[in-house]
Amino acid sequence: MGFDQLLGGLATVFTPEHLLFALLGCVLGMLVGVLPGFGPAAAVSLLIPVTFGLDATSAIIMLAAILYGAAYGGTTTAVLLRIPGEASSIATTLDGYQMAKKGRGGPALVIAALASFVGGLIGVIGFVVVAPFSRLALEFGAPELFLVSLLGFALITSFAGSNPAKALLSAAAGLAIATVGVDSGVGIARFTFDMPELFDGVGLVAVVMGVFGLSEVLGQAQKGPLGVPSPLKVARLLPTRTDLQRSALPSLRGSVIGFFMGLLPGSPGAATSLASYAAEKKLSRRRSEFGKGAVEGIAGPEAANNALAVSSMIPLFTLGIPTSATVAIMAGAFTMNGLIPGPLLFRDNPDVAWAIIASLIVGNLILLILNVPLARVWIAVLKVPFHYLMAAILAFMFLGTYSINGSPFDILIMLGAGVLGYVFQLVKVPLTPLVLGLILGPMLEENFQRSLALSLGDYGVFMEGPISLTLIGVIVVAILFGAVRPLIASMLKKKSHIPVAPKELAK
């Protein structure tokens, strides 16, 4: 197993330089994560330019820390403001806010941080157990790699949003954008309109910043000045021994639920935290306390969230397939730093790969040590009037995009992507498939072309061998499931009589 390599990775991360970048990442991620509407995907996409100029390991360590910091920023606002930073924090809002109302905001945050750490740790242990299987993927040739990319594409499109047509549109748009530039096969310039800036294709960072960052700013701006409620006081910080005892088992159970849910396509965060909440409510002897400030209702979902955040990286590291928007952005960051996400990462850059995995633990540890005592500071960010924050974010995005290539053209790309993302949000077209199409598009095309070149144009090359046939079978099932999923969901909704958290959510 890979525990020796994990120790090596920890040794790499435990250098002053890497720890500093992890710390900086956590702080920046928290600062953006506490802003209403800015979840981890938006935070990471906004802050990618901060990592320009760093070496690959430092850059990815910092981005992973930004990811965790932003997620924990969402938890802080969920507990103290009743504003979940992202959908997966909704379950934490239910009991966390109630605890804070009773003057126990500090213990709620500490329990959330401890449970997150447990979830992250168990997620990493699972990661280490699974990682060696990535060697199997090294046996894949171009046809299998094409089918794996196609599988990722089919899975995320099938599981994104609740309208298959809109998910397909988003994915196809991403795929179309990915074809801009000089074709790698025969060298024909496609959709470049004789503009040299487009010969290398549309810049991923500019698109991601636009789609997830600018669209969010536009969405906030359309609402006018935002009124953020006054945060509740953190008061006493440390939880009681009873709190710790009561949260131990829920943290473990939540971690296991989160780990396995994270392996599913789409890495459904909200469903995972609600599933963990439901499990704890069912198993608890204090069922009546749920929704009124039960620590189990915080520990389970928070552990599940964090285990999911780690395990959702497994498909990226083992197969090179991102399964959610955040992971897709991370995949883009890997590529920008010259790293190929997937099994080749373990073969060609094992030190980097294990350092990144180890940084997932370290990031959690930093958050645990640093962020709970500083909760008041993060909340103070929200007291800065939003129009100044918005102006600062826009200036940062403008500068960040410009600094990619030192060209105003990237700003125009970011702007176009932002407007597209904003319109897509208005008509409820999911954004994840678009980014995924952009990332997986070149992989799909390259491996497709290579396969057919090797087989001299024989399409049967995609159906040779059990691996290919299995992959095709799974792709077909994924597409069919995606098509009928809305129907199943609406049928279940009519039949479902198991209330998980509707009463609490309705409050």
Partner 1 sequence: MQTLNAPVALEWTVASAALAGGLAVAGVGAGYGLTNTSGVGAGFFPTVAGTLMALAGVLWILQLLAARRTAEPVPVAGDVRESVPPHHESESALVSLLDDDNSDEPDVADFPDHQGWARVGIIVGSILLAALLLPFLGYTVVMTLQLGTILYFVSKRKLWISVAVAIGAALASRLVFEVWLGTALPTASIEFLAGLGL
- Specify the residue, 239 or 265, whose C-beta has the smaller distance to partner 1: 265
Residues 453-482 within binding reach of partner 1 (CB under 8 A): 453, 455-457
Q: In sequence order, what are the residues at sequence separation of 6 or more whose Cβ sits closer than 8 angstroms to the Cβ of residue 161?
A: 167, 170, 428, 429, 430
Residues 184-213 within binding reach of partner 1 (CB under 8 A): 185-186, 188, 190-191, 212
- Specify the residue, 156 or 321, whose C-beta has the smaller distance to partner 1: 156
Q: What is the 3-state secondary structure (H, E, C) of 167-186?
A: HHHHHHHHHHHHCCEECCCC
Q: Binding partner 1 by CB under 8 A: which of 224, 227, 460, 466? A: 224
Q: Closest approach of Cβ 160 to partner 1, in Å?
A: 5
Q: Closest approach of Cβ 2 to partner 1, in Å?
A: 27
Query: Which range touches partner 1 (CB under 8 A), out of 7-15, 57-65, 132-140, 488-496?
Result: 488-496
Looking at the DSSP assignment, which residues form a beta bridge with residue 182? 189
- For the chain, count helices (H), then strands (E): 24, 2
Q: Does 229 bind partner 1 (CB under 8 A)?
A: no
Which tokens belong to 455?
């087989």
Q: Does 408 bind partner 1 (CB under 8 A)?
A: yes
Report the C-alpha gap between 76 and 31 in whole angstroms.
11
Q: How many CA atoms lie within 13 A of 112 on its CB side?
A: 37
Helix (H) or strand (E) holding 125: helix 105-130
Residues 122-151 within binding reach of partner 1 (CB under 8 A): none
Query: Which range touches partner 1 (CB under 8 A), out of 115-123, 177-185, 227-235, 338-346?
Result: 177-185
What is the largest distance, in Å, between two alpha-carbon atoms of the chain? 71
Distance of CA 242 to the CA centre of its chain: 33
- Specify the residue, 239 or 254, whose C-beta has the smaller distance to partner 1: 254
Q: Closest approach of Cβ 236 to partner 1, in Å?
A: 32
The binding track of 39-68 with respect to partner 1, each residue x by CB under 8 A or -, is: xxxx----------x---------------
Residues 237-256 within binding reach of partner 1 (CB under 8 A): none
3-state secondary structure of 190: strand
The binding track of 385-404 with respect to partner 1, each residue x by CB under 8 A or -, is: --xx-xxx-xxx-xx--xx-
CA distances from 105 to 75, 108, 422 (A): 11, 5, 35
Report the C-alpha gap between 507 and 496 in whole angstroms.
20
- Specify the residue, 8 or 219, whose C-beta has the smaller distance to partner 1: 219
How large is the C-alpha radius of gyration of the chain?
A: 22
Q: Does 258 bind partner 1 (CB under 8 A)?
A: no
Q: Closest approach of Cβ 254 to partner 1, in Å?
A: 13
Nearest to 38 by CA among 500, 401, 396, 415: 396
Residues 71-100 within binding reach of partner 1 (CB under 8 A): 86-88, 90
User: Per-residue DSSP letters for 313-331?
Assistant: THHHHHHS---SHHHHHHH
Q: Does 268 bind partner 1 (CB under 8 A)?
A: yes
